[in-house]
Structures are given as structure tokens and as C-alpha cells.
Amino acid sequence: MIAINEQIRAEFALLFQEWSGDFPQTISSLPESGSYRLYARISGSSKHAVAVYYTDLKENLAFMGFATHFRKAGIPVPEIYCCSPDSLCYLQEDFGDHDLFEILQHSESSPFRELKMKLLGKVIEWLPRIQIEGHRGIDYDLAYPRKVFDKQSMLWDLNYFKYNFLKLIRIPFDEQALEDDFHTFTSFLAEAPQNAFLYRDFQSRNIMIRNNQPCFIDFQGGRMGFPGYDLASLLFDAKAGLSPDERAFLYSAYIAHIAKYDSAWPALMDRYYPGFVLIRKMQALGAFGFRGLIEKKKAFLQSIPPAMINLEWVTSHFRMEPGIPELWRVLRELPHHKGMQRIIDDIFKHPDEK
């Protein structure tokens, strides 16, 4: 958990007092997320909120602007109560402590198993509403760092994976051949229609559960894109532990929901979805490498073994439409490479370290 210094604590207290007209009685830090934002829960005599501090102004403006738009569209996202004059600090609605990830982790027991599929069904119904209805009238000038998940954005993700995972594992590859495959692969994915809101990080930790209903947070990286990426983020979330049968069921349910908006979506999803699963897996591995192997963050290290299981399933069951021989070879060998196995063995030998 990141400690909140006295200056930021004072900013939180002042903002809360200006919004609520009440002095805060408690200010408690919330656990660190996947970003570098600082969160705290603030409570007064009658009101409470989550306070956020982050120095990336553009990202803050994106989150607050998108949240305001989504709430007007009837999507359950946090209300933004107020922000500081410099927009580096803001107060948002508190959705509590329970997220979908928590439910998924306990889903082996029978009451949780039933609740898990019920909640996932609701999430799958909400996702195309966020992507299609949320897309209408949204201000993509807020999107940061790019308005569209285009070829340039995809290449950034693939190089993030190359430098923060592949090179750290020390798996051998032909760099020019790999770069050629990166361009072939991203050119194919960029052909997919990018006329939906791409949440960008639609995974179980960003779906809060309040009164047995899903609520959605952390969409500040949103932009225009192909909706299959978000579905891949949810169904192939490394630590979510969904079975192949569960993923197939939820994929079919999603297709039925998004087809209500346009009958062309099912065929487009069938063609492009495997590729977006693959690029999402590589983006996630880049994050696990940077935050886990470089920054030594325990939660990200622990995500690597299940990510390898997922990757092995993907490369065994999906076929990519474009020819990407060097990339495909690397991805198929990665879960079994001695460098990968050494890291996984070390994680299990020292589960409480880092």
C-alpha cells in the first residue's frame, strides 16, 4: 500500500470539506492498484467518498470526462463529486471493497459458483452497452495517449511485450523476423472496424460489485477501437480462472447481445477476436514483466504462471489469419522455455516475498 504524505492528505481533507461541508473523520489509504494513482477512502459524519491523486493531468481529465458521459448514458460508473483547481485531485463515488475478481477467486464453492455465472452474465450484457451506446456522443479528444487503438497503439503494446517480457526471459528470437510479424499482425487487426468505445482494461478487478450489481471503474485509458479487445480482456484475464467452457458460453452470450446493435458484429467478431485475444495477452505479459520482473511487485509476478497456462491454450486452439511464423513460434515456446520455467519455479518457492 502506498503511503499518502501529509500534503496530499491535507488536499484530500480540504476537497472533502468543500464538497460535503463537513470535516473528514477518517482518511484511510486504499490498496495500490495497477497504476501509480493514490487512493483514499474519506468519511465524514454523513458522507463518504474515494479521493484520488495523480499527477497525469490528461489521464485525470479523461477519466472524469468519460465518467460524466457514461453516467448520462445510464451506465453504472462512479459519480465525480468535485476536483481540485489543477485537476490533480478529485473525489468520486465509493463503490465499496468488493470486486468481481474476489467472486471469481472463491467460485469453487457452490454458492459462489452460482453467483459467479450470474454476475458474469450481467457484465457480458453491460459490455456492449458500454462499447456501443457509450460510444455515441463521447468526446474522444479526451482519449489519452491516442484517440484510436490503431496500428501505432498496437505496435507500442507489442514492443512493450518484447522489451519488458521476451528480452527479460531471454528467449531467443530473430528480431527482424519478429518485427516483420508485428507489422503483418497489426496491419490485419487494424482492418477491424474501430467504431466502438474500447475500455482498454476491462478485467475483473475493474468491475466492482455493489448490491449484487456490477459497476465499472478505471476506464481512463479508453479510446475508439474494436470491441473484441475488451471481451478478450475479461475472458482471458490471467487470474480469473475461467474454464474453456465458461469462456465459450460467455462469448456466445456476448455475441447475442452485440448483434442487437448491428447484425454484422458476429461475423466480425469471429474473424478478428482470436487476434485481439493474442494482442491482449501480449500487452498483459508486458505489464507483468515491467511491474513484476522489473519493479518486483508481487501481484504481477503471481499473474505470470496462470498467464502462461492461458497462452498455451490460446496457441493450441486459435489460428491466426495472417502468417506470423516467428511470433507464433516464440509464443508457443514461451511457456516451456527454461528462462520462463526458472521464473515460475522461483515464484512458487518464495510466494510471500516481494
Average pLDDT, the chain: 94
Contact indicator for 242, 121 with CB cutoff of 8 Å: no
User: How far apart are the C-alpha atoms of 109 and 23, rounded to whole Å?
Assistant: 43
Q: Which three cell numbers stand for residue 223?
A: 479510446
122-152 as b/e, with b when 16 or more CB fall inside 10 Å? bbbebbbbbbbbbbeebeeebbbeeebbbbe
pLDDT digits (tens, 9 = 90+) for 72-86: 999 999 999 999 999
Least confident of 90-94, 231-235, 319-323: 319-323
Q: What percent of the chain has a predicted confidence (pLDDT) above 90?
A: 85
For the chain, what is the total number of helices (H) and then of strands (E)? 14, 9
87: cell is: 485537476
User: Tell me: the pLDDT tens digits for 147-192?
Assistant: 999 999 999 999 999 999 999 999 999 999 999 999 999 999 999 9
Out of 64-78, 110-124, 223-237, least confident range:
110-124
Mean of the pLDDT values across residues 318-325? 94
pLDDT band at 109 (very low <50, low <70, confident <90, very high): low
Domains in the chain: ranges and CATH:
6-92 (3.30.200), 100-349 (3.90.1200.10)
pLDDT 10s digits, 219-240: 999 999 999 999 999 999 988 8
Percent with pLDDT over 70 in the chain: 95
3-state helix vs strand vs coil in the chain, percent to 5: 55, 10, 35
pLDDT at 327 over 80: yes
pLDDT (0 to 100) of residue 1: 46
Give the model confidence (pLDDT) of 4-32 as tens digits: 899 999 999 999 999 999 999 999 999 87
| Integer Cα distance of 302 and 297 in angstroms | 9
Q: What global pTM score does this model have?
A: 0.94
197: pLDDT strictly greater than 60: yes
pLDDT at 238: 87
Of 271-275, 335-339, 346-350, which range is least confident?
346-350
Q: Is the pLDDT reported for residue 350 higher than 70?
A: no
**pLDDT greater than 80 at residue 38:** yes
- Residue 353 pLDDT greater than 70, yes or no: no
